[in-house]
Amino acid sequence: MKQYDTRRCAIRRKRRLTGDVFDFTVDAGDLAGISRAGQFAQIYVPGKTLRRPISICEADPENRALRFVIQVRGEGTAVLAGLEEGDSFDLLAPLGTGFEPGDTSRRALFVGGGIGVPPLLGAAKPFGGNAVLAAGFRSGDAVILKEDFEAAGCEVRIATDDGSFGRRGLVTELLGATEFDVIFACGPRPMLRAVSRLADERGVPCQVSLEERMACGVGACLGCAVRLRGAAGEFYGRVCRDGPVFDSRSVVWENGTERRAASWQT
Ligand SMILES: Cc1cc2nc3c(=O)[nH]c(=O)nc-3n(C[C@H](O)[C@H](O)[C@H](O)COP(=O)(O)OP(=O)(O)OC[C@H]3O[C@@H](n4cnc5c(N)ncnc54)[C@H](O)[C@@H]3O)c2cc1C
Ligand code: FES
């Protein structure tokens, strides 16, 4: 089998998690065995030219299933969210790099913001009780997947912007003197930048999942270029192919690091 493939995958289970967030489990066959959390699928949207990138929340090879959590943001995600059990997703997957858990006996900190939380679930599960999730949401009614992390044995700490659930404030304020050996993060760029700084201060490795507007999703169009740092200096990498998960030290976080296309053909 190729590194990635296209597949029509029947929706086995659909649940509404909040007003605009939906949880899908699809029959993915052998794709489930070669996928891991943090990689993503390009999902075809009927009537649209470009597929939509959605993270793999969990891969379950035993049950030949993939799980996706989708938030309605625009027309494409609204169409996907409207699909029902028995309908199918047309996937191009698995794409990009996923989280690399490494030694799961380490104390791991998972930091997520909003719709950045789902890909952390599959990465956190192998750590069980060694994992702490610090997750930030707009408000209490936007909190997702708390029970899933708890069922996996992880400690869950929540912050909300309006204080309606958990602690009011930034997700990074949930950490206190907590000690950890490794960090995994996914969410808005300012949050990732703060987490990267924290990792530098504590001297621990940190993997961050970047989000960038995408077209092809397979490294061909350069639409998702991001500035990176390597041994030979700075260079442009592709979020879809070189990422979306990067070592936080390889990301250039300063202003002007993101190159966004002015207009997109959808
Ligand atoms: C690697 C990666 C993983 C993602 N994982 C998830 C996930 O697990 N769950 C989830 O709900 N969303 C996820 N997103 C964001 C999701 O792809 C966008 O919300 C979605 O593409 C918006 O499409 P739309 O048609 O609803 O919105 P529109 O704004 O109408 O989209 C217009 C165009 O812009 C692109 N676009 C718009 N916003 C984004 C964005 N934030 N990132 C990339 N392309 C965008 C669309 O693909 C489309 O081509 C992820 C994005 C990336 C890059
Ligand atoms: S989306 Fe085309 S190169 Fe990344």
**Domain CATH code at residue 181:** 3.40.50.80
Cβ atoms of residues 22 and 35 within 8 Å: no
53 CB within 6 A, ligand 2: no
Q: Give 125-142 pLDDT, tens digit per residue.
A: 999 999 999 999 999 999
Q: Residues 114, 78: one domain?
A: no
Domain boundary among 75, 95, 115: 95
Q: Which residue's CA is the closest to the ligand 1 atom numbered 17?
A: 53
Q: How far apart are the first and last CA of the chain?
A: 30
24 CB within 6 A, ligand 1: no
What is the four-CA torsion angle of 124, 170, 243, 238, rounded to 10 degrees? 170
Q: What are the two backbone dihedrals, phi and then psi, of residue 89, each rounded to the nearest 5 degrees?
A: -95, 135
Q: Which residue's CA is the closest to the ligand 1 atom numbered 35?
A: 213
Domain boundary among 95, 130, 150: 95
Domain boundary among 95, 126, 150: 95
Number of domains within the chain: 3
Q: Residues 169, 238: one domain?
A: no
Tell me the best of 50, 213, 216, 242 to mutate to test the pocket of ligand 2, counting ligand atoms within 8 Å of each CB and taking the most.
216
Average pLDDT, rounded, for the chain = 93
Residue 258 has pLDDT above 70, yes or no: no
Paired sense of beta strands 167-168 and 155-160, if any = parallel
211 CB within 6 A, ligand 1: yes
Q: Give 27-58 pLDDT, tens digit per residue.
A: 999 999 999 999 999 999 999 999 999 999 99
Residue 229: both structure tokens together: 């740092």
According to the model, what pLDDT value does residue 262 have?
Answer: 30
220 CB within 6 A, ligand 2: yes
Residues paired with residue 242 on neighbouring β-strands, in sequence order: none
Section 2-31 average pLDDT: 95
Ligand 1 centre to CA of 129 (Å) is: 32
Section 115-122 average pLDDT: 98
Measured between alpha carbons, how far is 74 from 151 in angstroms, rounded to an integer? 32
Q: Residues 233, 184: one domain?
A: no
According to the model, what pLDDT value does residue 148 have?
Answer: 98
According to the model, what pLDDT value does residue 49 have?
Answer: 93
Q: What are the two backbone dihedrals, phi and then psi, of residue 241, each rounded to the nearest 5 degrees?
A: -110, -40
Most confident of 171-180, 194-203, 252-261: 194-203
According to the model, what pLDDT value does residue 265 have?
Answer: 36
76 CB within 6 A, ligand 1: yes
Q: Residues 83, 160: one domain?
A: no
pTM of the shown model: 0.94
Q: Residues 49, 139: one domain?
A: no
Tell me the best of 77, 91, 117 to mutate to test the pocket of ligand 1, counting ligand atoms within 8 Å of each CB and taking the most.
77
For residue 246, the enclosing domain spans: 210-266
Q: Residues 153, 171: one domain?
A: yes
**Domain CATH code at residue 84:** 2.40.30.10
Measured between alpha carbons, how far is 5 from 101 in angstroms, rounded to an integer? 24
For residue 236, the 8-state DSSP code is E
Residue 214 has pLDDT above 70, yes or no: yes
Section 5-30 average pLDDT: 97
Q: Residues 103, 198: one domain?
A: yes
Q: Residues 54, 87: one domain?
A: yes
Q: Classify burial at 208, counting beta carbons within 10 Å of its beta carbon; exposed 0-12, middle 13-18, buried 19 or more.
A: buried
40 CB within 6 A, ligand 1: yes
Neighbours of 18 (CB within 10 A): 16
Instruction: Name residue, tokens 């858990």.
Output: 101
Q: Starting from the edge strand earliest in sequence, which strands make up the sheet with 52-55, in order? A: 52-55, 40-43, 88-95, 5-18, 21-27, 65-71, 58-60
Is the pLDDT higher at 260 or at 17? 17
Measured between alpha carbons, how far is 155 from 255 in angstroms, rounded to an integer? 34
Ligand 1 centre to CA of 213 (Å) is: 7
Q: Residues 111, 181: one domain?
A: yes
For residue 20, the 8-state DSSP code is T
Measured between alpha carbons, how far is 46 from 76 in angstroms, rounded to an integer? 8
Instruction: Write the DSSP assignment of 179-215 as a string of letters.
Output: --SEEEEES-HHHHHHHHHHHHHHT--EEEE-----S
Q: Residues 112, 136: one domain?
A: yes
Ligand 1 centre to CA of 183 (Å) is: 24
For residue 73, the 8-state DSSP code is -
**Domain CATH code at residue 221:** 2.10.240.10
Q: Residues 134, 89: one domain?
A: no
Q: Residues 78, 115: one domain?
A: no
Residue 176: both structure tokens together: 């206190």
> Ligand 2: which atom is nearest the Cα of residue 241?
4
